[in-house]
Structure 1
Amino acid sequence: MIRFDQVSVTYDDAAGPALTGVDLTVDEGELCLLVGPSGVGKSTLLGTVSGLVPHFSGGTLHGTVTVAGRDTRTHRPRELADVVGTVGQDPLAHFVTDTVEDELAYGMESLGLPPDTMRRRVEETLDLLGLAALRERPIATLSGGQQQRVAIGSVLTAHPRVLVLDEPTSALDPAAAEEVLAVLQRLVHDLGTTVLLAEHRLERVVQYADQVIVLPAPGEAPLVGEPAAMMAASPVHPPVVALGRLAGWSPLPLSVRDARRRAGTLRDRLAPEPAPGGAAEPAAPDAAAPPVGRAEGLTVRRDRTDALRGVDLAVRPGESVALMGRNGAGKSTLLSAFVGLHEPAAGTVRVGDAVPHRTRPAELLRRVGLVPQEPRDLLYADTVAAECEAADRDADAPRGTCRALVTRLLPGVADATHPRDLSEGQRLALALAVILTASPPLILLDEPTRGLDYAAKARLVEVLRALAADGHAIVLATHDVELAAELAHRVVILADGEVVADGPTAEVVVSSPAFAPQVAKVLAPLPYLTVPQVAHALGAGA
């Protein structure tokens, strides 16, 4: 169905090729997973299938990419639209209409399908993706995860033979991600649709893949093979694979179920060990310190609907708190209230002794910083260097402070790079560096690992732990259960704008099947959450 014949791509003014030596085939009815560190060319490879590379991206494509027999060099994206459906990293860039139902119908209108066919497919897609209750909603009012599902649905309605997806579950809560992956499975198994997707959250998808393509590093030829064999060689892999490597299992497990079947001996070795801990564990915050951020009885009303109802939350210096819950639960609204973007309808919100919505932005910048879901909202300069210089000036920080943070979070990014040329994960790292330059006591992050590979996420965790150790309070809204397990002291779960759970991470996530990390599921009932905890225990018991 998809054939790459000695494909390489070089962008104008680039030091080297973004892709090289791609020579492989993706068969009809196959779910093929594309993995690799950030910046190795995954989005470029996907773009060659849809024709976006090189027709819209520019640069030079050598070799041949054919999809259903059509050469993407001689067929522009509109000439491939009936066979290839594409969903990019940024759902907002995908939309052309204002409401959910109109967006689902738009692609079919472009293909000239009959109205009765369009109506039937819209209804089917609304049910498949759990969007029926949102059909009349303006897209601008949806949460990031809801927008991602609409973007996927707008492609599915055209019934393409090939689906190309870039980070399709990055903004989705665990339950919504399972729904989307179940839909993809159904398309592959029942309809013979070919699915090619790039995903950093491999713990969600690797067990469903028929074939894995690994891009090891920029300029290196890809590796292709069975999922278990590729995970043994891949520089990025999910926690269950890391646990299998640590335990010496062969073949490596790809799912929690596979790992649990082999984990009996490992659980026996770990059972006599003391409670998990070690150098990698976050230090406990000072419970007696006054909070740097507090919400009391906070109610926020949006469009005559209570997005938050009676929320109580206090965050103290050195504490890391993970806000979790399904898409639309109110996580982003709560973070926005702490930076003054929403005035409370009832209750209060404080940052130190300041009321956020009544405080000047220049003053608030030194009290609280928010990295939003869309990092480009913070980025306006033409180069990475200019962004860093502006951040240093705004924060009255020593020259080079922001650039040092960028280097730590995202090694190898040149000063002259335009922020729009960065990947989603790279832009997020740059936006985080901009916020951290002012070193605010309270740091808020909305989906901070969206678009980050495991190595970049590990660097982020290291930076945030260091900030917490220095007394900064961190609140992150996330669907990444592995991040919460590694970083958070507390987990707060929101549902329909209300707090339904608030407690130590180990207690809250282990008791919730939806939010438990892979290691906890494999080793239950033992209280281990992460691979480093297991490694520390095995080392202590050696």
Structure 2
Amino acid sequence: MTAPALVLDDVSITLPDADRPVLSHLNLAVREGDLALVVGRTGSGKSTLLGALNGLVPHFSGGRLDGSVTVAGLDTRSHRPRDLADVIGVVGQNPMAGFVTDTVEDEIAYGMEQLGISSSIMRKRVEETLDLLNIADLRSRPLLDLSGGQQQRVAIASVLAAQPRILVLDEPTSALDPTAAQDVLASITTLVDDVGLTVVLAEHRLERVMHAADTVIWLPGDSTAVQGDPSEVLLRADVTPPLAQLARVLGWDSVPLSVRRARRRVRAAGQVPARSAPEPTEALSWAADPAADVMRLENLSVSYGDLNAVDRVDLTLQSGTVTTLMGRNGAGKSSLMWAVQGATRSSGSVRVRSSHTASGGDVAQPGWTDPRTASPEQARRLVTLVPQAAADLLYLPSVGAECQQADRESEADPGTTASILHRLGVELPAERDPRDLSEGQRLALVLAIQLAARPSVVLLDEPTRGLDYAMKAQLSLIVRAIADGSGLAGPAGSPAAVLISTHDVEFAAMSSDRTVVMADGQIVADGTTRSVCTSSPAFSPQMAKVFHPADLLTPGEVAEAMADPSVDLTVERGPR
């Protein structure tokens, strides 16, 4: 029996100023060389649990810890985080927030310098770590010039160079495109399988990593924890990745942890709908209606020195539609959005149509305006952007103050922003400090603030970062309501165009009508979400892979197909 690398014995954690524990009477153990996946809804205590593993909780966070946390035989009560630095390494959600040097090689060496490791050993470890994570070609690169996936691997390398026996990662793929996320997770699983490292990993996008988990620790949110076999725990958990939803739809007694297992299982049971994917000649088509155009980009370009971040892009958006913008990190998605909003210098044509009610109550004639040259008041009514870090737009001490300020800036009737927040399905006390809100609550508040101006075009940049599956499902309903009108956006509540930049293919599948893919600043694919996502291995949701060649995108569509007696659920079994 492999000895535990981590043991929590009757652990309870009470945060400062809290009247009850956030985690209570936990008894958990992670074996040496295992990959333990920590899952749970936002606010269930995942980050608190991870912080307790190296003593940050309570030595730095404050509060109270009852029971004992033992890491590689060392009790965190008597060993502070600095005493455990060579035993357990921690990588946070944002790699850049933890970097302290300028280049890759210096960053990897820095942690060893703090541990007093000799220069000769440091040099050897730097080389070994660069090779281990396949980043030797980055050694002299400035950290600011790296992609998100490269930064994440450097952050892991800087921790691994100290040769800890345990690695703790908090959402390591939250900001990465599917390919970069796969690269990082491949590096992590290599460390587990080939090096014998013990890894504890918290992640919202479970579909990316659950196939590699040896054990799952589920935090239901009631201060308890459930640990067990991943295929059994995920069937019960309130976080439901697509394959867990599929298992419930089809009545399975366990969750297949990979597409391969799920595909074999549905074929063995003859549960594949006999529906065909689009023909290749029809795969990338979007039937745009020029009469519904609300935004037109022509020859739009954005440059940073010699880098063409957006390279002569032509794109139209129609009111009443939700479009997802996808592509690898650095493809130009955010640059395009900021250019449309007018915050980034750009060339080419940007035109947005608006028909807001005039001051006398009459409806103004529709007109085309460039938001880059419009007044701030007019620009708010044309295009609004919710950035990746939505909380950056919140600066007042209470929810009520933020709503009132938004009403004034948008020249809206008092109570407009609060009413929109209510219709978004989020109830927040007016006296609540925005800093105390969850990621999903802050996102909803910022959306309400931005929608108070009734913009014709709504831009969302990576809105699903930090959101659990239930929150993403709610966000999907919200963006659909914005596009349809429903009193949430557009002039007098008319339909709006929504453009969402995201790396989350599952969210794209459930929420959008159209998908645009960018690469190297250019649009390389543009069509219906169904056609684009069923023709691309990199951007296919798991249901499309499991049921190929049937063009199913979500577990909900599988459930509909199962319930429809006109759909033939049998196919010839054979190779894909």
TM-score (norm 2): 0.85
The one-letter code sitting in structure 1 at the alignment partner of 2:402 is: E
Residue from 407, 412, 419 that aligns with 1:392: 407
1:514 corresponding residue in structure 2: 538
Of 155-164 and 475-484, the range deviating more from structure 2: 155-164
1:363 corresponding residue in structure 2: 378
Of 78-87 and 264-273, the range deviating more from structure 2: 264-273
Provide the secondary structure at the position in 1 that maps to 2:57: helix
Residue from 179, 183, 187 that aligns with 1:179: 183
In the superposition, relative to structure 1, how do residues 317 and 410 fare at CA in structure 2: closer, same or farther (>3 Å)? Answer: closer
Asked if structure 2 preserves the Cα contact closer than 8 Å seen for 1:293 and 1:338, the reply is no
The one-letter code sitting in structure 1 at the alignment partner of 2:251 is: G
In the aligned structure 1, how far is the partner of 2:84 from the partner of 2:424? 38
Residue from 490, 493, 504 that aligns with 2:517: 493
Residue from 276, 296, 299 that aligns with 2:298: 296
The one-letter code sitting in structure 2 at the alignment partner of 1:347 is: G
Residue from 74, 77, 80 that aligns with 2:78: 74
1:93 corresponding residue in structure 2: 97
Of 348-357 and 366-375, the range deviating more from structure 2: 348-357
Provide the secondary structure at the position in 2 that maps to 1:359: coil
In the superposition, relative to structure 1, how do residues 393 and 79 fare at CA in structure 2: closer, same or farther (>3 Å)? Answer: farther
> Residue 329 of structure 1: CA displacement?
1.1
Of 76-85 and 41-50, the range deviating more from structure 2: 76-85
Matching of residue 311 in structure 1 with residue 313 in structure 2: yes
1:281 corresponding residue in structure 2: none
Of 51-60 and 38-47, the range deviating more from structure 2: 51-60
In the superposition, relative to structure 1, how do residues 536 and 71 fare at CA in structure 2: closer, same or farther (>3 Å)? Answer: same
Provide the secondary structure at the position in 2 that maps to 1:366: helix
2:571 corresponding residue in structure 1: none
1:529 corresponding residue in structure 2: 553
> Residue 134 of structure 1: CA displacement?
4.9
> Residue 238 of structure 1: CA displacement?
0.9
Q: Give a deviation string over 1:126-164, Cα, whole Å, max 9, x none.
A: 455565555444444555554444333332332221111
Matching of residue 271 in structure 1 with residue 279 in structure 2: no
In the aligned structure 2, how far is the partner of 1:517 from the partner of 1:9? 38
Asked if structure 1 preserves the Cα contact closer than 8 Å seen for 2:310 and 2:521, the reply is yes
Asked if structure 2 preserves the Cα contact closer than 8 Å seen for 1:213 and 1:222, the reply is yes
> Residue 204 of structure 1: CA displacement?
0.6
In the superposition, relative to structure 1, how do residues 361 and 534 fare at CA in structure 2: closer, same or farther (>3 Å)? Answer: same
Matching of residue 250 in structure 1 with residue 253 in structure 2: yes
In the aligned structure 2, how far is the partner of 1:476 from the partner of 1:75? 46
Q: How many equivalent pairs are there? A: 532
The one-letter code sitting in structure 2 at the alignment partner of 1:101 is: E
2:243 corresponding residue in structure 1: 240
After TM superposition, list the pairs within 5 Å mapping 1:8-407 onto structure 2: 8-126=12-130, 129=133, 131=135, 134-217=138-221, 219-264=222-267, 270-271=273-274, 287-344=289-346, 346-352=347-353, 353-403=368-418
Q: What root-mean-square deviation, in Å, do the aligned CA atoms of Structure 1 and Structure 2 show?
A: 2.7
In the aligned structure 2, how far is the partner of 1:19 from the partner of 1:36? 12
2:364 corresponding residue in structure 1: none
After TM superposition, list the pairs within 5 Å mapping 1:383-532 onto structure 2: 383-403=398-418, 415-470=430-485, 471-532=495-556
In the aligned structure 2, how far is the partner of 1:212 from the partner of 1:34? 6
In the superposition, relative to structure 1, how do residues 28 and 413 fare at CA in structure 2: closer, same or farther (>3 Å)? Answer: farther
In the superposition, relative to structure 1, how do residues 103 and 147 fare at CA in structure 2: closer, same or farther (>3 Å)? Answer: same
> Residue 240 of structure 1: CA displacement?
1.3
In the aligned structure 2, how far is the partner of 1:172 from the partner of 1:293? 28
In the aligned structure 2, how far is the partner of 1:160 from the partner of 1:412? 44
Unaligned regions of 5+ residues in structure 2, if any?
A: 279-285, 354-367, 486-494, 567-576
The one-letter code sitting in structure 2 at the alignment partner of 1:227 is: P
**Percent of aligned pairs sharing the same letter:** 54
Asked if structure 2 preserves the Cα contact closer than 8 Å seen for 1:367 and 1:440, the reply is yes
The one-letter code sitting in structure 2 at the alignment partner of 1:351 is: V
Asked if structure 1 preserves the Cα contact closer than 8 Å seen for 2:22 and 2:223, the reply is no
Provide the secondary structure at the position in 2 that maps to 1:241: helix
> Residue 446 of structure 1: CA displacement?
1.4
> Residue 274 of structure 1: CA displacement?
12
Asked if structure 1 preserves the Cα contact closer than 8 Å seen for 2:517 and 2:524, the reply is yes
Of 202-211 and 368-377, the range deviating more from structure 2: 368-377
In the aligned structure 1, how far is the partner of 2:552 from the partner of 2:68? 48
Asked if structure 2 preserves the Cα contact closer than 8 Å seen for 1:410 and 1:426, the reply is no
Unaligned regions of 5+ residues in structure 1, if any?
A: 276-283
The one-letter code sitting in structure 2 at the alignment partner of 1:305 is: L
1:539 corresponding residue in structure 2: 563
In the superposition, relative to structure 1, how do residues 146 and 466 fare at CA in structure 2: closer, same or farther (>3 Å)? Answer: farther
In the superposition, relative to structure 1, how do residues 427 and 40 fare at CA in structure 2: closer, same or farther (>3 Å)? Answer: same
In the superposition, relative to structure 1, how do residues 464 and 97 fare at CA in structure 2: closer, same or farther (>3 Å)? Answer: same
The one-letter code sitting in structure 1 at the alignment partner of 2:295 is: G
> Residue 397 of structure 1: CA displacement?
3.8
The one-letter code sitting in structure 1 at the alignment partner of 2:218 is: V
In the aligned structure 2, how far is the partner of 1:410 from the partner of 1:96? 41
> Residue 265 of structure 1: CA displacement?
6.2
In the superposition, relative to structure 1, how do residues 410 and 117 fare at CA in structure 2: closer, same or farther (>3 Å)? Answer: farther
Asked if structure 2 preserves the Cα contact closer than 8 Å seen for 1:285 and 1:318, the reply is no
In the aligned structure 1, how far is the partner of 2:225 from the partner of 2:71? 19
Asked if structure 1 preserves the Cα contact closer than 8 Å seen for 2:6 and 2:29, the reply is yes
In the aligned structure 1, how far is the partner of 2:76 from the partner of 2:428? 30
TM-score (norm 1): 0.90
In the superposition, relative to structure 1, how do residues 311 and 401 fare at CA in structure 2: closer, same or farther (>3 Å)? Answer: same
In the aligned structure 2, how far is the partner of 1:74 from the partner of 1:426? 38
Of 22-31 and 405-414, the range deviating more from structure 2: 405-414
Q: Give a deviation string over 1:74-124, Cα, whole Å, max 9, x none.
A: 333222211121122233322222333333332222222333443444445
Asked if structure 2 preserves the Cα contact closer than 8 Å seen for 1:285 and 1:317, the reply is no
In the aligned structure 2, how far is the partner of 1:243 from the partner of 1:214? 19
